[in-house]
Every structure is written in structure tokens, then in C-alpha cells.
Amino acid sequence: MSAATTTTTMTATPVTAPAHAEVNDHVAPRACLNDRGTMLRSPLEVDDTGAMSAQPRTADKTMPFKLASAGFSFFAAGVNDGSLGALIPYVIRDYSITTAIVSALYAASFAGWLTAALTNTHLTQRLGLGTMLALGAMLQAAAQALRTWPPAPPFGVYVATFALTSLGQAYQDTHVNTFVAGSSSAAGAHRWLGFIHAAYMAGCLAGPFASSAIASTSGSASGSAEAAPSRWWLFYTVPLGLGLANLGLVFAAFRDSLHFRWRRQTDLSVPEDGGRETGDGPSATAMVRRTLSTPSVWLLSLFFFCYLGFGVTAGGWVVEYLVDVRNGDLAHVGYVPAGFSGGCLLGRIVLPEPTHRYGERRMVFLYCVCCLVFQLVFWLVPNIIAASVAISLLGFFSGPFFATAISVGSRLFPPDINATAISFVFVFAQVGGSLFPIVTGVLGSHLGVGVMQPVLVGLIVVTTVSWLLVPRPPKEKQ
């Protein structure tokens, strides 16, 4: 946007929280979210400072380059996130640690997202859009560089890199989402958001293939004394290269907003009565209190809490389960998380239309029942091929949960607390996505990693019940 253009801006205040992402045509334009945990305010136009403007964006010849950079940043994040499940068995055996200790990786990731939630608003008042994106890209590249420390980084350093990576992803993904949401008209923004979120899932699909291939060619983690140690940490040269390319693209594409703002920008929000509230204002506290006193917020939060809990737990512990319980060959079963990610991606492409056509409440309940069936197949059928197919179908039927639930929430919550309510929902969801993998690891250290199966069954059941408890949106909001 030209510097001479006069706009009335509203500071974007993203709140971050979890790990996975998509946007759907049926999501109301008041609040755009992805399931990596990023909350966006209404998809208005975004100027070069990262602020949102109510006026249309003028033609920008660099826009395709910026959108390509945005998509690549999500692809790089997906490669990082999708590789962990395949690498956990190597990490456990290389450091000679238990599943309880390796759960610290998930705790560190949560710490990074929480830190971003507490600091993001303050940083956006001082840093331009390009500077925020560059900061996020730098943190991610630094974390990947530490992970390539030969011959494998100290475990404490390795854990700390997960906090750095999550912090960098939170900063970059938040502002990429905000920028893309305002990069075109309201009718077309969802397509570009869909593009970057599809890029993320493509990265999640590629991550296990790359990590398993590199880790398995340099040794074996099967536990035999004769096996050569795996140099699994060499995989991180791949996300390091992607991270440096991501950083270079940010500097090149967003060079027009690589600056600092020394005067603190005032947060402006426009109430429905047409008046204006300025500054940090006491109304923010009142809005939070009203949000926390709304029962539907807690009910939808419970749904996301359990949904992300079983999704992250299944993707993170499935390889260790197949190796430890089913005696699978790590060099081959390391690719199973790619099946889960691929199923989830396919579900997000195929299922939104029938979900919208036949009713969200009915169809999500049906998908939950299907997830429970295939989870029981995964648990009770002692066959690795059957387990691999079942986990892929579990990802397929859980794919549309995120966009559908956000669509319901955007119509269910009162308009004046819509953005705040959805922010809280995803903070709570991130707690579930971090807590249940930790619980599974701690229990697994005492009872065996097979404890993952009853945990997943319980989470799917509670997810189903919590969905039925979510109130129906008023018809006038649909």
C-alpha cells in the first residue's frame, strides 16, 4: 500500500495456539482461524505495517511474490511439525531416555506458543510486518541450526529448540495469516488462506518421508547391540535449508515493511454503535470476563481440547507404538505419520461440501463415530498394515473438524466477543494438544506405550459427547 494512502486502521491482535491448519468457505468472515492456533480478526485489508484497514488495497505488483513467500513459510513449518513422530523412536534410543522424558518436547512447544501469545501484541506495536515475519523466520532457522549440532545436540539444547521453533512459527504464522486474509477481497481471501494451509499439510506429508529416509539410512534404532547408531539429527539440515530460504524470501518479498515504529500504535476498535474506543481501555477486561462467563465458549473449548489432544497424540506416538508393541521395522513404519497427515489433507478437501450440505451437527457426529470405529480397528487388529490404513482413515474423518467447529462458533458467539471467544478456544485447544501427548508419555514410561490406545479411545468419545453438547447457533446468524 502506498505511503500516501490515508487509511483508518485497526491493530490486528492475533492470539496463537496450536498445531494444524485450514480455512473453509463456510467460516464467517468475522474471525478467521486455523488449527495451528492462529486467530485473525475480520479479514479487512492489511497495510504494510501489518495493521488492518477498512479501505481496499491498491494494486500491488509484488503481491504474488508475497503470497508465494507466505505459502513457503507454511510448507517449511509443516515439514518441521510432521517429522517429529517419525523421529521420536530414534531420540528415545539415542539419548537412552524414557517416554516420560521425551514428552518434554511437547511441553517446550507449548511454552513457545504461550510466550508468543503474551508478547505478540506488544511487538506488533513496535515492529513492521516484514520485521515481525523476519523475526519469526530467524527464530526458526536458529532452532534448526542448533539441531544439526554433531553428533546430535545435547538433550537440553534439543528440548529448547522446540520452544524457539514454536515461538518463531507463532510470530510468522500469525502475521502471514493476517496479511493473506487482507490480501484480496473478502470473496477471494479464503482461497489464498486455503492455499497457505494446504501448503502446511503438504509439508506435514513430506516431513515423515524425509526424516525416516535420512534416519534409517545411517543406522538402526531397533535396539540390537550390533546396530550402528542412527545419525537422525542430519535430517534437520533439510528444515535448516528451508528455514534459510524462508528467511531470504521474507527479506525479499516484504522489504517494504522491514522497519520499526518508535511511537506505540494505538489499538482502535469500532463498536457496533458506530462509536470508537481507543487505547488499551478497560473494555478489554470486560470483554474477557464476558467471554469466560459464556457457557458455549467452554463447551466448544472442550471439543477442541479433546480433538487436538487425540490428533497430536496419534500423530506423535504412533511410530513408537508400532515399533514397541507391534514389533515393526522402524525403517518402514516411520512413514505411517505421513498417512495420517495425508488422510487429514484429503479429508479437508473432500468432506467440507457434504458437511455443509447435510448439516454440520449431524455430519461431525457421524465423522466422530467413524473415527472411533477406525481407532478400535487400529487398537484391536494386530496387523501393521491394518493399523496404517486405520490411522490414515482416522486422519481423513477428523480432517473437517476444525473448519466446521469454527464455522459453528463464529455464528454461535455474540458478535462483540466473537474474536476474543475464538482466541480463548484455541488457547484451550493448545493446552489439549500439549497435555495429552505428555500424559501418554508419562503413562507409557510406567505401563508401556500401548497405553496410547485407551487414551485415544477416551479422547474420541469425549470429543463426540462435547460436540453434542455445543448449542445450535441461532438461525438468524446462519
For 18, 33, 43, 436, 453, the CA distances from 12, given in Å and listed in that order, are 19, 13, 10, 31, 41
**104-113, 218-227, 371-380: least confident range:** 218-227
Higher pLDDT, 136 or 188: 136
At residue 275, the pLDDT reads 36
At residue 281, the pLDDT reads 43
Residue 133: is its pLDDT beyond 90? yes
Q: What is the pLDDT of residues 71-82, one digit of tens each?
A: 999 899 989 988
Question: How large is the average pLDDT for residues 43-53?
Answer: 44
Task: With cut-offs at 50, 70 and 90, classify the pLDDT of residue 299.
Answer: very high
Is residue 68 a contact partner of residue 296, using CB atoms and an 8 Å limit? no
| Contacting residues for 385 by C-beta, under 8 A, at least 6 apart | none
Higher pLDDT, 53 or 160: 160
- Return the number of other C-beta atoms located less than 10 Å from residue 256's C-beta: 15
**18-32, 296-310, 362-376, 412-426: least confident range:** 18-32
Answer whether 0.85 is exceeded by the pTM.
Answer: no
At residue 423, the pLDDT reads 63
Residue 256: is its pLDDT beyond 80? yes
Residue 227: is its pLDDT beyond 80? no
Between strands 32-34 and 38-40, the pairing is antiparallel
Higher pLDDT, 30 or 114: 114
At residue 187, the pLDDT reads 46
Residue 63: is its pLDDT beyond 50? yes
**33-47, 94-108, 138-152, 233-247: least confident range:** 33-47
Higher pLDDT, 434 or 38: 434
At residue 416, the pLDDT reads 74
Task: With cut-offs at 50, 70 and 90, classify the pLDDT of residue 1.
Answer: very low
Most confident of 11-15, 22-26, 68-72, 281-285: 68-72
When the pLDDT of each residue in the chain is averaged and rounded to a whole number, the result is 77
At residue 338, the pLDDT reads 83
Cα separation, 437 vs 431, whole angstroms: 10
Task: With cut-offs at 50, 70 and 90, classify the pLDDT of residue 285.
Answer: low
At residue 158, the pLDDT reads 95
At residue 124, the pLDDT reads 75
Task: With cut-offs at 50, 70 and 90, classify the pLDDT of residue 13.
Answer: very low
For 25, 32, 97, 251, 368, the CA distances from 189, given in Å and listed in that order, are 10, 10, 46, 23, 30
Question: How large is the average pLDDT for residues 444-459?
Answer: 91
At residue 223, the pLDDT reads 45
At residue 184, the pLDDT reads 53
- C-alpha closest to that of 136 among 22, 16, 263: 16
